[in-house]
């Protein structure tokens, strides 16, 4: 049932076998206030009754304006969102993970931020940890010069330090808003990424095209961290590592790219030191067997990235058609929003 003939916002939820989380996610969208929106659910071949539940419990809700795209197989986060973007009718595109629940002012808050200036093409949410909503999950993004990105403020107690609207590097794809005009110019998600790091690639591509991102602190979302593949998943770590390399190869200026190996080595050493104290990403891979499994996943990710490098370099050349920032400006942007090695080594993705 459609709520608006032409909604201003298209809210997209991509789902794969998370029926109960999806129910809570859609219920949070049903409670949105002060926003004219439609909801597009893209299901990636779920076998747990997700589609049936959504159509039965939410299909007739006028306040949700739900439409369902049911894929036969898991096409991944990137392709699923691109399907939703193509099907949407709004001038603004909002993404909400199926493992996230939005506060009632989420869409309205993002809409205020993204509409505050013509050059604002992205808006970032204040994402808090579902189990502990007084702790920050992400308040925009930071990046390390080897291409590894992390949430700004990740793991910090929420003491009001992220309660002002301000420019950030890009939004987390868990809960974000994009201007359709930006997506029409630069394209949607790069489907070669499949999942993880895809929002960083899209965000940096948008920044290269001259678009900016604002953080909207009143747009609050609670997020179950690691619900897609699990925080200790080797496949998750492999994709994160592969996509880190692909991001750098596709979008980093050569002045940073040639130093990638040195930055990566420094991060690995800092990560190993943190792991010895039970901190950082490796804390999800306990014991010698866990560490070996993680090392193998990193190696597999790097090998997969090497095989895809020719394709990424072709895409790198294509970025020139909409480039507004010079390579020097991109380098400055990355370094201005750089996460420290100490903070990165202590955090987990």
**Structure pTM?**
0.93
Q: For residue range 300-344, list pLDDT tens digits in order.
A: 999 999 999 999 999 999 999 999 999 999 999 999 999 998 888
Question: Measuring CA to CA, which residue among 100, 116, 244, 88 is closest to residue 176?
Answer: 100
Say which CATH superfamily domain 9-223 falls into: Spore Coat Polysaccharide Biosynthesis Protein SpsA; Chain A (3.90.550.10)
Please say if the pLDDT value at position 284 is more than 90.
no
What torsion, rounded to 10 degrees, do the Cα atoms 134, 140, 143, 147 define? 110
- What are the C-alpha distances in Å from 334 to residues 78, 337, 339? 23, 5, 9
* pLDDT over threshold 70, residue 349: no
Q: How many CB atoms lie within 10 A of CB 181?
A: 13
Going by C-alpha positions, the residue among 152, 150, 61, 65 that lies closest to residue 107 is 65
Task: Please write down the HEC assignment for all residues of 110-179.
Answer: HHHHHCCCCCEEEEEEEEEECCCCCEEEECCEEECCCCCEEECCCCCECCCCCCCCEEECCCCCCEEEEE
The predicted structure's pLDDT at residue 245: 97
299 pLDDT tier (thresholds 50, 70, 90): very high
Question: Which pLDDT score, from 0 to 100, does residue 226 have?
Answer: 61
Mean pLDDT for the stretch of residues 21-31:
97
Higher pLDDT, 115 or 270: 115
HSE at residue 167, side-chain half, CA atoms within 13 A, is: 11
Q: Which residue has the higher pLDDT, 118 or 227?
A: 118
Report how far residue 126's alpha carbon sits from residue 246's, in angstroms, rounded to the nearest whole number: 27
Residue 107 has pLDDT above 90, yes or no: yes
Q: Check pLDDT > 60 for residue 63.
A: yes
Percent of the chain scoring above 70 in pLDDT: 92
Question: Does residue 123 register a pLDDT over 70?
Answer: yes
Q: What pLDDT shows up at residue 272?
A: 74
As a whole number, the mean pLDDT across the chain is 92
Per mean pLDDT, which range of 76-90, 160-174, 190-204, 271-285 is the poorest? 271-285
* Contact call for residues 11 and 28 (beta carbons, < 8 A): no
Calculate what percentage of the chain has a pLDDT beyond 90.
82
pLDDT of residue 157: 96
Length of the chain: 349
Greatest mean pLDDT among 60-64, 129-133, 278-282 lies in 129-133
Of 56-65, 83-92, 128-137, which range is least confident? 56-65
- Report residue 348's pLDDT band, with 50, 70 and 90 as the boundaries: low
208-237, pLDDT tens digit by residue? 999 999 999 999 999 997 655 555 688 989
Q: Is the pLDDT of residue 286 over 70?
A: no
Residue 281: predicted pLDDT: 67
The pLDDT score that the predictor gives to residue 1 is 46
Each domain of the chain, given as residue ranges in start order, spans 9-223, 234-346
């Amino acid at each position: 049932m459609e709520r608006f003939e032409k909604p201003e916002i298209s809210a997209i939820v991509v789902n794969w076998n998370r029926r109960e989380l999806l129910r809570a996610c859609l219920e949070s969208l049903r409670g949105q206030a002060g926003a004219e929106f439609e909801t597009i659910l893209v299901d990636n071949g779920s076998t747990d009754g997700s589609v049936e539940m959504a159509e039965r419990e939410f299909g007739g809700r006028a306040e949700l304006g739900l439409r369902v795209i049911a894929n036969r197989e898991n096409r991944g986060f990137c392709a699923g969102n691109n399907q939703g973007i193509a099907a949407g009718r709004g001038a603004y595109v909002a993404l909400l993970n199926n493992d996230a629940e939005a506060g009632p002012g989420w869409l309205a808050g993002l809409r205020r931020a993204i509409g505050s200036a013509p050059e604002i093409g992205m808006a970032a949410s204040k994402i808090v940890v579902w189990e502990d909503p007084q702790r920050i999950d992400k308040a925009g993004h930071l990046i390390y010069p080897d291409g590894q990105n992390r949430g700004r403020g990740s793991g910090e107690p929420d003491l009001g330090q992220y309660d002002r609207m301000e420019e950030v590097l890009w939004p987390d794809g868990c809960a974000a808003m994009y201007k359709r005009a930006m997506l029409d110019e630069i394209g949607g998600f790069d489907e070669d990424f499949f999942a993880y790091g895809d929002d960083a690639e899209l965000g940096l591509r948008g920044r290269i095209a001259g678009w900016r991102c604002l953080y909207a602190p009143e747009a609050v979302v609670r997020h179950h961290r690691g619900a897609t593949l699990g925080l200790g998943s080797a496949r998750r770590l492999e994709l994160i590592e592969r996509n880190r390399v692909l991001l750098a190869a596709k979008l980093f200026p050569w002045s940073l790219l040639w130093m990638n190996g040195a930055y990566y080595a420094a991060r690995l050493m800092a990560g190993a030191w943190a792991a010895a104290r039970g901190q950082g990403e490796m804390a999800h891979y306990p014991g010698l067997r866990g560490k070996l499994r993680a090392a193998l996943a990193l190696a597999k990710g790097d090998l997969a990235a090497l095989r895809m490098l020719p394709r990424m370099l072709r895409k790198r050349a294509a970025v020139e058609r909409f480039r507004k920032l010079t390579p020097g400006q991109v380098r400055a942007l990355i370094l201005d929003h750089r996460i420290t090695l100490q903070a990165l080594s202590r955090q987990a993705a």
